Amino acid sequence: MSVEHSIDSSIGLVLGVRTIYHMDKYLGLPPMVGKSKRKTFQHYKDHFRRCVDSWNLRYLSHGGKCVFIHSVLQAIPTFAMQCFLFPSSLCRALKGILNRFWWQKLGCRWGSYWCSWSALSAYKCDRGMGFHDLAQFNIAHLAK
């Protein structure tokens, strides 16, 4: 059952609320995911890049980078991962952004990759850094 726009807007004026006809996001999540999941979740990739680019100018040690990845970057998509299965291409792209940020040198966009991301994502007790594999992290959240 739908209401005409004139009645809808007059009810909104009486109640003092605004009327929304096209909802882009609800609680930070898209209300509907269509065929193109890549377009739907593109803003997470953009947000990762903005965060990394804003912190690239600062001189962070490996410890600072580790804390930044754990506490900021890996926390960005956590809420959405509890509701939606991210495309594997998006998880690979996010992993690439994390990997590039971890290995880059001061003032340079690229660095030497001394070990694989799977070695870095191993547990700390297994001589890894404890970074999440985002695809498995997503599946774990959905299983929860």
Between CA 47 and CA 119 the distance in angstroms is: 25
Residue 95 neighbours by CB under 8 Å, 6+ apart? 117, 133, 134
pTM (2 d.p.): 0.70
Residue 119 neighbours by CB under 8 Å, 6+ apart? 128
Give residue 23's pLDDT.
60
Give residue 9's pLDDT.
77
pLDDT digits (tens, 9 = 90+) for 26-58: 556 666 666 667 777 778 888 888 888 887 656
Amino acid of residue 128: G
pLDDT band at 125; cut points 50, 70, 90: confident
Give residue 108's pLDDT.
64
Q: Could you state, in order of their start, the residue ranges of all structural domains in the chain?
A: 38-143
Tokens 């498995």 sit on residue: 136
Contact present, 90 and 47 (Cβ < 8 Å):
no
pLDDT at 1 over 50: no
